[in-house]
Amino acid sequence: MATKRALRPTSKVLPEDGRAHNRAMLLQHLFHTGPASRAELARVTGLTRVTVSDLAASLIADGLVAELGPRAEGRVGKPGTRLRLRTDAFQIVAIDLTADTRLHGAVLDLSGDRKARKDVAVEGLDGDEALAAVLEFARELVALADRPLLGVGIGSPGVVDAHGTVIQAPNRGWYGVGLAETLSRALSLPVHVANDANAAVLGEFTFGAASASGVLVVTVGQGVGAGIVVDGALVRGHGDAAGELGHVTVVDERDDVDHAPLGRAQQCACGRRGCLETVLSVPALRHRIAGLDAAERDVALAAVGRRLGVALAPVVSALNLSEVILSGPPELLGGPLRDAALRTIRERTIPVIGTGLDLRMTRLEEDGTLLGAAVLVLSAELGFG
Amino acid sequence: MATKRALRPTSKVLPEDGRAHNRAMLLQHLFHTGPASRAELARVTGLTRVTVSDLAASLIADGLVAELGPRAEGRVGKPGTRLRLRTDAFQIVAIDLTADTRLHGAVLDLSGDRKARKDVAVEGLDGDEALAAVLEFARELVALADRPLLGVGIGSPGVVDAHGTVIQAPNRGWYGVGLAETLSRALSLPVHVANDANAAVLGEFTFGAASASGVLVVTVGQGVGAGIVVDGALVRGHGDAAGELGHVTVVDERDDVDHAPLGRAQQCACGRRGCLETVLSVPALRHRIAGLDAAERDVALAAVGRRLGVALAPVVSALNLSEVILSGPPELLGGPLRDAALRTIRERTIPVIGTGLDLRMTRLEEDGTLLGAAVLVLSAELGFG
DNA sequence: GCGCGTTAGGAAGGGCAACTTACAAACGTG
DNA sequence: CACGTTTGTAAGTTGCCCTTCCTAACGCGC
């Protein structure tokens, strides 16, 4: 009987908001399912053919949709003229600020295809300097676009609020930096910012065919982050800090539980000991396996995977996730580490939770955050993703 | 710049849906903030005074709202006539099926005040028998109502989907039982069902003043369950099984990490070993402290609290929760167990997560699930909670 | 006492969004 | 080739919220 509940109807809804929503539905469907006639769209959405025609006209006028000629298949009745999303008509600038020493960016079209890319090495920029460097970098990317730009999407390390203000990013020396507002003003374009791991999960969700009902992406690089989508929405958390998994304690003092000891809890950059980051970050993993032979290596990686599994089991259980995705160097994460993590989660959760779970490497290679940054723009400007 | 994103615009929105939403906003505000004039409501919601007047008229016509005379305070201008929610005008039947041997129910008004209650002892009913008993119990409660009923809300153990079908509830022998549909047909009333712990978190949220942005309720009784609200919405999970925290492994073999050993991992009813339920359920806790003096007792309870903290730390971190609420016998949970759990979570998470966190006992005593069941009805029938 | 500015509530009229009904065009089928 | 089917559009209706205007009720200052 229960259908849908908005626990907090927080802001007014006008008829025009409904129309915007319905327009986005059409785009969403064309984006995910490909070309379709007005009549098909009407059947799928539940709107009438008349209304869909009207909405389609506005989309065509905006240059977002184009007619594609009638369908060839022989069926009864007048063949419908199929509509397609003009994924080539607009472009998006996407920027990944994850790395400490490189700025990574691209110009993408609406289907996520890379039209141009740009990488720049930077050295230990801090505070305003770093902000200026990002702005300059964004300017250069904007200049590379050869179609109208929908906006700029940025995945940044640190805690980022819904308005695109970086609440804190210690590595950059950013505290309360209005990144979106600053860039938006300077570039005269919409700018959307999210935490890099949160962006990554959006990328997986839209371009990696991840499940809508419950995904967690673990990003492993210099540090460890996570982004979560449950029930079709990104989890932001009380202080916009959702996904801070890198600094959960996973190695206790005198920890010899799993017959493949990790040694004593290591000091972490955050000042505490035994954080997930101290065993799962790329530098930590490389250091751990340095000089080991293949067999020893597998044991060492599995031990880390087991720790990851122990930390993830309560999260997977609590949220009834259907998918956990690892993003990072596949030679480190893809083998014994992944296997051990999945096995551990299955062992430590009740079958109803663990059985339906998949744990896999990303299929987006290194572009998850970049694509996710584009999704920020897609969903904010066009209402879908 | 980013404002709000609906990652999955899934169904059409008509102007009348917008109106329903706006109506619910008014009710929501009157419910949580108390009486207000039309002009105040217009300012708060962003709607015009004209529109609010029109919506208010429809609410008055429906008997949900009444005028309350002008405000006494002397201020410039014409004093507005305040509107109040008629919390006494309708009633809700709420049923808590958590206990194995008792049916627990009440007739509540819209403010959660109990107008009648009913408890019935049942003995090991299974399958269809149990279903018949619940229906009969609901009938009796419906007969106790002396105002028009909005509907029936039920908190049930097990996995319950959004349509009120109990996917599985092993203790009841229910597998795929259309509880909501069956009762709705028999009673000719709207019936809404949710997992008992999920209902409990809704109860805390609406009647316990819990944070909207991130709460987790741990229900401790015969078993252990959990319900989660993040970003203002209940978490359902991929298979509607979100909150299954009771069967996460928390005690490993050879576990002597915390100098207050819990002994070897105990066998759990689910067939595995070392589940949270084997140390945190009420029977397990009572068994553990039986015959201990006060000091030993505190140590034993703290050891369990520490285990709970270890399991919750990754969840709190991943979701950036602001509140964890314990529901169950305060003499077991409220003291050293709570303290140890909170301390453990703080130790094992980065300060940005742990500092803002509160972990406390429920203030709803044993009625969390019952009130939550009422919230199911409130939010489904009137659109607020 | 009396105008004046301010606030609350309602009435009238307009614009927009989706609906229903009706129709022409284009296609297979018998 | 008539017929039913399907598509897309045109015309008119209904519903919802808006802007604009008006009246009522209050405090304030002269």
pLDDT value for B77: 78
pLDDT value for B276: 96
Query: Do the chains contact at B18 and A14, CB–CB below 8 Å?
Result: yes
| Cβ of residue B81 lies below 7 Å from strand C | yes
Residue A338: band (very low, low, confident or very high) from pLDDT cuts 50, 70, 90: very high
Sequential DSSP letters for B63-115: TSEEEEEE--S--SSPPPEEEEE-TTS-EEEEEE--SSSEEEEEEEETT--EE
Q: What is the percent of chain A where pLDDT is above 90?
A: 81
pLDDT value for B6: 43
B63 and B100 Cβ atoms separated by less than 8 Å: no
Nearest-CB residue to A184 (from B1, B190, B214)? B1
* Residue B195, SS3 per DSSP: strand
Average pLDDT, integer, range B76-90: 90
The answer to whether residue B49 neighbours chain A at the CB level (below 8 Å) is no
- The topology under which CATH files domain A210-362 is Nucleotidyltransferase; domain 5 (3.30.420)
Q: Tell me the H-state helices in chain A.
A: 15-33, 38-45, 49-61, 127-144, 179-187, 196-207, 277-280, 282-289, 294-319, 330-333, 336-348, 351-354, 368-377
Backbone torsion region of residue B237, taken as left when φ is above 0, otherwise alpha when ψ lies between -120 and 50, otherwise beta: left
Q: How far apart are CA B238 and CA A139, in angstroms?
A: 41
Looking at every residue in chain A, the average pLDDT score rounds to 92
Q: How far apart are CA A130 and CA A106, in angstroms?
A: 19
* Number of neighbouring beta carbons within 10 Å of residue A299: 15
Residue B2: band (very low, low, confident or very high) from pLDDT cuts 50, 70, 90: very low
Which of B29, B30, B238, B245 best tests the A interface by mutation, with the highest count of A CBs <10 A? B238
For the cut 90, the answer to whether the pLDDT of residue A384 exceeds it is no
Q: What is the percent of chain A where pLDDT is above 70?
A: 94
For the stretch B57-71, pLDDT in tens is 999 999 999 998 776
Sequential DSSP letters for A119-159: EEE--S--HHHHHHHHHHHHHHHHHH--S-EEEEEEEESSE
Could you say which residues from 135 to 164 on chain A have a Cβ atom under 8 Å away from some Cβ of chain B? Answer: 159, 162-164
Average pLDDT, integer, range B323-332: 97
The answer to whether residue B182 neighbours chain A at the CB level (below 8 Å) is no
Cross-strand bridge partners of residue B275? B249
For the cut 70, the answer to whether the pLDDT of residue A253 exceeds it is no
State the nearest residue by CA to the C1' of D4: A77
Residue A1: band (very low, low, confident or very high) from pLDDT cuts 50, 70, 90: very low
Query: Do the chains contact at A9 and B376, CB–CB below 8 Å?
Result: no
Q: What is the percent of chain B where pLDDT is above 90?
A: 81
Query: Do the chains contact at B7 and A205, CB–CB below 8 Å?
Result: yes
For the cut 80, the answer to whether the pLDDT of residue A42 exceeds it is yes
Side-chain half-sphere of A381: how many Cα atoms within 13 Å?
A: 21
From residues 17-56 of A, which are strand C contacts by CB within 7 A? 18-19, 22, 46-48, 50-51, 54-55
B321 and A239 Cβ atoms separated by less than 8 Å: no
pLDDT value for B182: 97
Nearest-CB residue to B14 (from A18, A191, A348)? A18
Query: Do the chains contact at A380 and B320, CB–CB below 8 Å?
Result: no
Residue A182: burial class (beta carbons within 10 Å; 0-12, 13-18, 19+): middle
Residues of B in contact with A52 (CB under 8 A): none
pLDDT value for A75: 78
For the cut 80, the answer to whether the pLDDT of residue A54 exceeds it is yes
Which nucleotide has its C1' atom closest to residue B49's CA?
C9
Name which of B39, B66, B61 is nearest B51 in CA terms. B39
For the cut 80, the answer to whether the pLDDT of residue A254 exceeds it is no
Query: Do the chains contact at A1 and B312, CB–CB below 8 Å?
Result: no
Query: Do the chains contact at A12 and B45, CB–CB below 8 Å?
Result: yes
Between B45 and A3, the more confident residue is: B45
For the stretch B276-287, pLDDT in tens is 999 999 999 999
Average pLDDT, integer, range A183-205: 97
Nucleotides of D under 7 A from a protein CB: 4-11, 15-20, 24-28
The answer to whether residue A257 neighbours chain B at the CB level (below 8 Å) is yes
Q: How far apart are CA A334 and CA A324, in angstroms?
A: 13
Residues of A in contact with B179 (CB under 8 A): none
Element housing B132 (H / E): helix B127-144
Q: How far apart are CA A206 and CA A382, in angstroms?
A: 14
pLDDT value for B213: 84
B350 and B317 Cβ atoms separated by less than 8 Å: yes
Footprint of strand D on the protein (CB under 7 A): A 12, 14-15, 37-40, 49-50, 53, 56-57, 75-82; B 15-16, 18-19, 22, 46-48, 50-51, 54-55, 70, 74-79
Nearest-CB residue to B237 (from A11, A226, A319)? A319
Nearest-CB residue to A9 (from B28, B184, B318)? B28
For the stretch A90-130, pLDDT in tens is 999 999 999 988 999 999 999 999 999 999 999 877 889 99
A315 and A224 Cβ atoms separated by less than 8 Å: no
Cross-strand bridge partners of residue B215? B229, B323
**Distant-in-sequence, close-in-space partners of B210: CB < 8 Å, separation ≥ 6:** B201, B204, B217, B229, B323, B325
CATH number of B17-70: 1.10.10
Q: How far apart are CA B220 and CA B186, in angstroms?
A: 32
For the cut 80, the answer to whether the pLDDT of residue B262 exceeds it is no
Could you say which residues from 302 to 361 on chain A have a Cβ atom under 8 Å away from some Cβ of chain B? Answer: 311-315, 317-322, 347-350, 352-353, 356
Query: Do the chains contact at B318 and A47, CB–CB below 8 Å?
Result: no
For the stretch A124-155, pLDDT in tens is 778 899 999 999 999 999 999 999 999 999 99
Identify the closest residue of chain B to A190 by CA–CA distance: B1
For the stretch B119-140, pLDDT in tens is 999 987 788 999 999 999 999 9
Cross-strand bridge partners of residue A375? none
Q: How far apart are CA B110 and CA B107, in angstroms?
A: 10
pLDDT value for A72: 67
- Reported residue count of chain A is 385
Q: How far apart are CA A180 and CA B239, in angstroms?
A: 37
Residue B184 structure tokens: 């709705």
Query: Do the chains contact at B212 and A350, CB–CB below 8 Å?
Result: no
For the stretch B86-106, pLDDT in tens is 999 999 999 999 998 899 999
Q: Calculate the angstrom distance between C1' of C5 and CA of B362.
A: 51
Nearest-CB residue to B1 (from A12, A192, A311)? A192
pLDDT value for B269: 86
Q: Calculate the angstrom distance between C1' of D14 and CA of B10.
A: 25
Do the strands A81-85 and A36-37 form a parallel or antiparallel pair, or are they unpaired?
antiparallel
Reduce the secondary structure of B231-297 to three states and give it as a string: CCEECCCCCCCCCCCCCCECCCCCCCCCCCCCCCCCECCCCCECECHHHHCHHHHHHHHCCCCHHHH
Q: Calculate the angstrom distance between C1' of D23 and CA of B79.
A: 14
Q: How far apart are CA B175 and CA B166, in angstroms?
A: 6
Phi, psi angles (nearest 5°) of residue B273: -125, 145
Average pLDDT, integer, range A270-278: 92
Q: CATH 1.10.10: which residues of chain B?
A: 17-70
A193 and A164 Cβ atoms separated by less than 8 Å: yes
Residues of A in contact with B240 (CB under 8 A): 320
* Residue A312, SS3 per DSSP: helix
For chain B, what percentages of helix, strand and coil (3-state, to nearest 5) are there? 40, 25, 35
Output the CA–CA distances (angstroms, integers) from residue B375 to B18, B165, B203, in the order listed. Answer: 21, 18, 7
According to CATH, the superfamily of the domain at B91-201+368-382 is ATPase, nucleotide binding domain (3.30.420.40)
The answer to whether residue A3 neighbours chain B at the CB level (below 8 Å) is yes
Nucleotides of C under 7 A from a protein CB: 5-12, 15-22, 24-29
* Residue A259, SS3 per DSSP: coil
Query: Do the chains contact at B380 and A2, CB–CB below 8 Å?
Result: yes
B273 and B266 Cβ atoms separated by less than 8 Å: yes
Return the exposure string of B106-140: e unless at least 16 CB atoms fall within 10 Å of the residue's CB, then b: bbbbbebeeebebeeeeeebeeeebbebbeebbee
For the stretch A157-180, pLDDT in tens is 999 999 999 999 988 899 999 999
Q: CATH 3.30.420.40: which residues of chain B?
A: 91-201+368-382, 210-362
For the stretch B158-216, pLDDT in tens is 999 999 999 999 888 999 999 999 999 999 999 999 999 999 999 999 998 887 789 99
